[in-house]
Structure 1
């Protein structure tokens, strides 16, 4: 099928990877060490959550490095085993303690971090860049690998101590588990469920914006699923809490791993029972109903005051799918 004939929900960023994760190898430390030392093994380094990209071609690609590459020299913990590619191992390594210099665009940080940082031992075409700014330009597999690496590293960064006794923990199983060095408690990576909702009333869509977003940027409403709550209930609760709009029928659409830091986005469609808006100013700066015709114009880049979601994010894919009649 031609790409133009595919729904945007079939090509969601971070969700297209086909990597063999080979979880049966994670507990085999000697086997993993042998795979890592093999000449065909490759590792992608990340610095402060930013993967290393090769920018020498027309599109960025993950800059996979061979064993012994100077960029892999400084790491606080062992690499994370991502899986196999035709029998060759793929790893990710956190080198955040490396003295990578700041790029010309300034220090890293923020939701829209466009800065890039190089490595003193690498060519200038190899740069650490924020995944959110690269996700719409890289291949499906690169996006999936980068999302896995970033999400796992964020989990390791925030779970260095045992939640049971408070002692330090250490990575095991190729990076997919941490064990307490004192009480032996085991800790596993977590993923937080988030609903993101396409709330419609006829040919109009409910959008919101937060005060920290750039001018003109609008997106779908979203929020974390609470304990004991279904996706459908979360959609209704979040929509009502943020905008005062009551929602009736809800159905699931698609999902997206979102490694900022470790969420799984569940996109759902909901039918609004009314259109009057009462925003919660602690959650949103503004909310409004936008027609399908307005959104089609916005998706073509014709309306600087209405930018419907960041390309690569599931919100953008869902809005596009609804405007094109796939939903």
Structure 2
């Protein structure tokens, strides 16, 4: 595996400017201290959606608030500060769905607004989404089945029965542009995609497997294509619920397609003219701007693709 001289630019969820200050997480009473400080900024999530406001310049900004007494009865976690030497502290507070009212500001999830946020807000919402997703799915001890409790300011869970500690997990996944000797790009439609939706191939890394081996295996499993020259281009967190997407490009040694029917509904090689025409006439729909898949496609295409985002899944 090699690293390309030019990596993927502007990966939306890798721009986070939040300083995590992990050394503070074990401080006794940290959350209480921060909740007592009106300068602390709290991001309130309701069903994974954060309050946002649209700006005149087209960007979207998160709307924070001061700590509220209700936060002490909710799941709250320390996310970090906005500067290496301190500054403003940021917390996430998870409110029940019943907390949302018609008077609430508009709320959006990370998928909807991640590409339009500034660097600090992108880091806050990406971290908050990934961390709260993990807590939501790991409420019980995998050793004994007892309910676990948050600790270290929301960064681990502890089992009070067997005293085991459980840390947030991140699942590595490879995602790759496959290009043949004619400089054509392989795109595929996954099962459940919208009728025009296509993207690059992707898959999770298996135990005992290197990243380059995962790229080669996934491409061969899903499309029947053999690849070589696996080259790293970039990576970004993808907390839906807990992945790290690691982007590559690879050269196809074979081009005949044999699809894995349980995963892939259709696949096709595109040259740039075919790709451009398909986008223009609507017969092809590609991944949204927040995804690393979009950047991999643009890396092959040679320029940013200016089309409106549309969901790939039907």
State TM-score, norm by structure 1: 0.84
Preserved CA contact (<8 Å) 1:75 1:96: no
- 2:162 corresponds, among 180, 183, 193, to 183
2:289 is equivalent to residue 283 of structure 1: no
| 1:91 aligned partner | 91
Higher RCO, Cα 8 Å, sep 6+: 2
Preserved CA contact (<8 Å) 1:76 1:97: no
Shift of 1:25: 0.7
Aligned pairs for 1:259-278 (under 5 A) are 259-278=239-258
Shift of 1:97: 4.4
Per-residue Cα deviation, 1:27-71 (whole angstroms, up to 9, x for no partner): 113244222321211111111122222246543211111112xxx
Per-residue Cα deviation, 1:144-201 (whole angstroms, up to 9, x for no partner): 2111111111100110000111101000111101000211100000000000011100
- 2:221 corresponds, among 241, 245, 258, to 241
Aligned pairs for 1:122-133 (under 5 A) are 122=104, 126-133=105-112
Shift of 1:73: 3.0
Query: Closer, same or farther in 2 for the Cα pair 1:280/1:127, shift >3 Å?
Result: same
- 1:315 corresponds, among 290, 293, 308, to 293
Task: State the alpha-carbon separation in 2 of the partners of residues 277 and 76 from structure 1.
Answer: 55
Task: State the alpha-carbon separation in 1 of the partners of residues 149 and 139 from structure 2.
Answer: 7
| 2:186 aligned partner | 206
Shift of 1:98: 2.9
- SS where residue 278 of structure 1 aligns? coil
2:215 is equivalent to residue 216 of structure 1: no
Shift of 1:236: 0.6
Task: State the alpha-carbon separation in 2 of the partners of residues 317 and 75 from structure 1.
Answer: 41
Bigger mean CA offset, 223-232 vs 286-295: 286-295
Bigger mean CA offset, 239-248 vs 55-64: 55-64
Task: State the alpha-carbon separation in 2 of the partners of residues 207 and 59 from structure 1.
Answer: 30
- 1:137 corresponds, among 104, 110, 116, to 116
Query: Closer, same or farther in 2 for the Cα pair 1:237/1:262, shift >3 Å?
Result: same
Query: Closer, same or farther in 2 for the Cα pair 1:66/1:120, shift >3 Å?
Result: farther
Task: State the alpha-carbon separation in 1 of the partners of residues 96 and 126 from structure 2.
Answer: 17
Per-residue Cα deviation, 1:57-114 (whole angstroms, up to 9, x for no partner): 543211111112xxx83786431111012422101111134343xxxxxxxxxxxxxx
Task: State the alpha-carbon separation in 2 of the partners of residues 249 and 325 from structure 1.
Answer: 23
Task: State the alpha-carbon separation in 1 of the partners of residues 146 and 296 from structure 2.
Answer: 43
Task: State the alpha-carbon separation in 2 of the partners of residues 314 and 162 from structure 1.
Answer: 33
- SS where residue 217 of structure 1 aligns? coil
Preserved CA contact (<8 Å) 1:53 1:60: yes
Task: State the alpha-carbon separation in 2 of the partners of residues 76 and 159 from structure 1.
Answer: 19
Unaligned residue ranges in structure 1 (runs of 5+): 1-6, 101-118
State TM-score, norm by structure 2: 0.87
| 1:27 aligned partner | 26
Preserved CA contact (<8 Å) 1:76 1:95: no
| 1:45 aligned partner | 44
2:193 is equivalent to residue 196 of structure 1: no
